[in-house]
């Protein structure tokens, strides 16, 4: 792409951000804020209840001594627990991100046909392929980046809150924080985004296709079509013709097509059988060396190719759908 | 100079109806063409074909491009205002200007800002907070700042009050139109555009029933007002239309001899709306 094309793409994505500021920006921020608030409330409740019952956890410096007595293995477990605390913030954000991306894709090529503003966008010298591409980029790159960075900030704040709480109980804050691996957590989260893009392609493609094609109710079409097909397949036992169990269809077509926009589903559903987790147990399965084993799975690549095909369909419908 | 639009054998069939029926026409640069027809006559379909928004049969050349295959290039030199309500409701004035400035190579930002300065629009104002008239002001400011060769207006002033309507066409004529530009406009408010048009095209049931420049229209069509005593004689000359006003009859003739008519009564140039009504008689019957 030349500079003009890059510039156009930048502004197209910016346009998406303007329109969907609520989903892309405020949803993760508010989720993160609520997550922290709940944690703080939980801690305060625990402190109040503890104080009422005369328990002051670690007041005599006992907790500090416990840590001092820990060997390397125990310390790594503390580090693991802190990493979990950091990832846990991300967990909630990921669910929110999944919903945001799902509904964003369903509306992306439909809403402007419904309110006829497509006639304004189409009066500008922008190709339909660029328009669709900008929606894909917004869904699979922009939205996850915002979510991950929010997750990282929330995770750090979460660590800080834990550390400050513990410091009231005589535990040295900074010593403890050194046991966590915030940079590794960040690296793993940011590094997961390209994998998410590849894995989410068939879902994004399907949802955008429905969005560009449906004359009304794209949600119903996007969900009802695969589910109805699945029911027919189950009813008539069609998968038997291919020597495959019926569940194969549900798992590889319905679930894969609809829910791959939820981050992490690739790591959960993407593998045929077990995959080897290297490193010590704990949160190491989030290490990129482990998550990227998905690249060896044909499921990922077949899905990505099908996703590109669906996107080509979405571009075609965007070009020729004539109903506004 | 070559034609801006050349259409030949243009046809478009929707499921139930023929929207365009083997239409051929040519539009030269530097013209303001009024495409006028009753509801459902095929005006919007014709414009959509020109803009590459719909598929069709036949051949169509717009500024040297085929709108079906070269739409992206074509839109660099064509602007259109579909109707009042198509600007996205969430967008702010500032965002709209920023966006168009950065994706349209022929957009002149200073010009656009000068147009906006003449309105009450504020940079942070969203389209959803504007009245219809203000939305059109914004859209027009964006479009007039684009150095396009062809501007297409489909019912641009629908639902606006008379102040906005007058201002709209005045702005177009004073600040936009020149001999290198071409404007095609469809509207039902014929009286408001008839003084600015250079060409007139009537479309009915997917066919073009009149395609002439305004001078030709003035030569061809004559209205004559006659008293009751000469009404029979006038009727014998086969007028296009007849109506009664204050006990007198007004007859509309197409291509009749001017001298003959002058002897029958007072002659004058018919208004476009009278011509339209006469031509379209029986459309909805």
Select the residue from A114, A125, A215, A317 to test the B interface by mutation, using most B Cβ atoms within 10 A.
Answer: A125
Task: Provide CB contacts within 8 A for A149, sequence distance 6+.
Answer: none
What chain B residue is nearest to A320 in terms of C-alpha separation? B54
Query: Count of CB atoms within 10 A of residue B179's CB?
Result: 9
Asked if B99 reaches chain A (Cβ–Cβ under 8 Å), the answer is: yes
Structure-block tokens of residue B31: 């013209």
CB spacing of B86 vs A18 below 8 angstroms: no
pLDDT at residue number A271: 58
Please check the confidence at residue A178 and state whether its pLDDT lies above 70.
Answer: yes
Answer whether A49's CB lies under 8 Å from A56's CB.
no
Shortest CA distance to A90 belongs to which of A147, A142, A162? A147
CA distance B90 to chain A (A): 7
| pLDDT tens track for A127-168 | 999 999 999 999 999 999 999 999 999 988 988 888 888 887
Using a CB–CB cutoff of 8 Å, tell me whether B75 touches chain A: yes
Identify the CA nearest to A268 among candidates A222, A245, A300, A303: A300
pLDDT digits 0-9 by tens, B237-275: 888 888 888 888 888 988 888 888 888 888 888 888 889
If contacts are CB pairs under 8 Å, which of residues 115-154 in chain A contact chain B?
A: 115-127
Listing DSSP states for B49-89 in one string gives HHTTSS--EEEEEETTB-TTT-HHHHTTTEEEE--GGGS-T
Write the CB contacts of A252 (distance below 8 Å, at least 6 apart in sequence): A299
* Confidence band, pLDDT 50/70/90 cuts, at residue A278: low
The reply to whether residue A125 touches residue B85, judged by beta carbons under 8 angstroms, is no
Give the start-end residues of each E strand in A101-186: none
Which domains are present in chain B?
5-205 (3.40.50.300), 217-279 (3.30.70)
A298 at B interface, C-beta within 8 A: no
Instruction: Tell me which of B103, B105, B112, B127 to substitute to probe the interface with A (most A C-beta atoms closer than 10 Å).
Output: B103
Contact B166, B172 (CB under 8 A): no
Nearest to B99 among A11, A119, A319 (CB): A11
Q: How confident is the model at residue A273 (pLDDT cuts 50, 70, 90)?
A: very low
Q: Which two tokens stand for residue B71?
A: 């739409």
Judged by a CB distance cut-off of 8 A, whether residue B80 touches chain A is yes
As for the ipTM of the complex, it is 0.91
Of A142, A144, A149, A179, give the one whose Cα is nearest residue A162.
A179
**What was the pLDDT predicted at B12?**
92
Residues A6-35: tens digit of each pLDDT: 999 999 999 999 999 999 999 999 999 999
Nearest to B82 by CA among B50, B115, B113, B130: B50
A320 inside 8 A of chain B by CB:
yes
At B251-261, the pLDDT tens digits run: 898 888 888 88
The 3-state DSSP class for residue B13 equals: strand
In angstroms, the first-to-last Cα distance of chain A is: 31
Domain ranges of chain A: 3-320
Give the tens place of pLDDT for each residue, A186-195: 888 889 999 9
Across chain A, mean pLDDT equals 85
Average predicted confidence (pLDDT) for chain B = 90
B102 interfaces chain A, CB cutoff of 8 Å: yes
**Residue in B56, B90, B109, B139 to test binding to A, most A beta-carbons within 10 Å:** B90
**Other residues' Cβ atoms within 10 Å of the Cβ of residue B151:** 22
Mean pLDDT across the stretch B149-159?
A: 91
Residue of A nearest to B140 (CA): A120
Tens digits of residue pLDDT in A221-255: 999 999 999 898 888 877 777 777 888 888 888 88
Q: How confident is the model at residue A169 (pLDDT cuts 50, 70, 90)?
A: confident
Q: Is A7 on the interface with B (CB under 8 A)?
A: yes
Chain A nearest CA to B75, separation (Å): 5
B85-97 pLDDT, tens digit per residue, is: 789 999 999 999 9
Q: Which of residues 12-51 of A touch B (CB under 8 A)?
A: 12, 14-15, 18-19
């Amino acid at each position: 792409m030349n500079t003009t094309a890059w510039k156009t793409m930048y502004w197209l994505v910016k346009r998406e951000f303007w329109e969907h500021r609520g989903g892309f920006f405020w949803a993760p921020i508010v989720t993160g804020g609520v997550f922290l608030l709940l944690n703080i409330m939980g801690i305060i409740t625990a402190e109040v209840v503890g104080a009422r019952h005369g328990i002051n956890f670690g007041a005599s410096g006992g907790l500090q001594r416990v840590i001092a007595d820990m060997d390397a293995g125990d310390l790594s477990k503390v580090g693991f627990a802190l990493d979990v605390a950091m990832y846990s913030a991300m967990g909630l954000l990921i669910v929110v991100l999944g919903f945001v991306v799902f509904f964003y894709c369903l509306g992306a090529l439909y809403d402007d046909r419904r309110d006829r503003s497509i006639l304004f966008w189409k009066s500008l010298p922008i190709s339909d392929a660029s328009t669709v591409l900008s929606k894909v980029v917004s869904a699979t790159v922009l939205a996850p980046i915002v979510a991950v960075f929010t997750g990282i900030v929330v995770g750090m704040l979460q660590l800080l809150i834990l550390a400050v709480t513990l410091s009231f109980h005589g535990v040295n804050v900074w010593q403890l924080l050194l046991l966590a691996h915030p940079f590794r957590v960040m690296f793993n989260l940011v590094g997961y985004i390209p994998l998410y893009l590849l894995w989410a392609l068939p879902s994004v493609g399907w949802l955008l296709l429905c969005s560009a094609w449906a004359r009304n109710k794209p949600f119903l079409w996007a969900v009802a079509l695969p589910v109805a097909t699945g029911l027919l397949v189950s009813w008539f036992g069609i998968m038997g013709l291919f020597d495959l169990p019926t569940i194969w269809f549900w798992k590889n077509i319905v679930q894969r097509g609809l829910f791959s926009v939820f981050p992490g589903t690739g790591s959960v559903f993407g593998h045929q059988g077990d995959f080897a987790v290297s490193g010590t147990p704990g949160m190491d399965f989030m290490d990129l060396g482990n998550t990227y084993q998905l690249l060896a799975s044909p499921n990922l690549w077949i899905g990505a190719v099908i996703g590109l095909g669906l996107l080509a369909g979405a571009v075609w419908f965007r070009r020729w759908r004539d109903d506004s | 100079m070559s034609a801006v639009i050349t259409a030949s054998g243009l046809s478009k069939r929707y499921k139930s109806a023929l929207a365009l029926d083997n239409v051929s026409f040519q539009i030269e640069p530097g013209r303001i063409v009024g495409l006028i027809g009753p509801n459902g006559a095929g005006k919007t379909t014709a414009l959509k074909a020109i803009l590459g928004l719909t598929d069709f049969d036949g051949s169509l050349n717009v500024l040297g491009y085929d709108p079906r295959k070269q739409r992206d290039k074509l839109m660099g030199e064509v602007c259109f205002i579909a109707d009042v309500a198509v600007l996205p409701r969430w967008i702010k004035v500032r965002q709209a200007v920023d966006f168009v400035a950065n994706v349209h190579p022929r957009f002149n930002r200073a010009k656009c800002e000068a147009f906006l300065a003449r309105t009450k629009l504020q940079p942070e104002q969203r389209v959803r907070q504007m009245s219809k008239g203000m939305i059109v002001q914004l859209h027009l400011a964006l479009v007039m700042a684009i150095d396009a060769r062809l501007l297409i207006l489909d019912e641009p002033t629908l639902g606006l009050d008379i102040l906005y309507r007058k201002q709209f066409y005045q702005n177009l004529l004073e600040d936009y139109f020149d001999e290198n530009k071409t404007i095609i406009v469809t509207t039902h408010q014929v009286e408001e555009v008839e003084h600015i048009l250079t060409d007139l095209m009537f479309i009915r049931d997917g066919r073009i029933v009149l395609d002439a420049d305004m001078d030709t229209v003035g030569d061809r069509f004559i209205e004559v007002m006659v008293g009751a005593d000469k009404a029979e004689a006038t009727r014998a000359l086969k007028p296009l239309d007849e109506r009664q006003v204050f006990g007198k009859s007004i007859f509309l003739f197409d291509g009749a001899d001017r001298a003959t008519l002058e002897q029958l009564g007072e002659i004058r140039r018919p208004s476009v709306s009278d011509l339209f009504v006469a031509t379209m008689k029986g459309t909805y019957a």
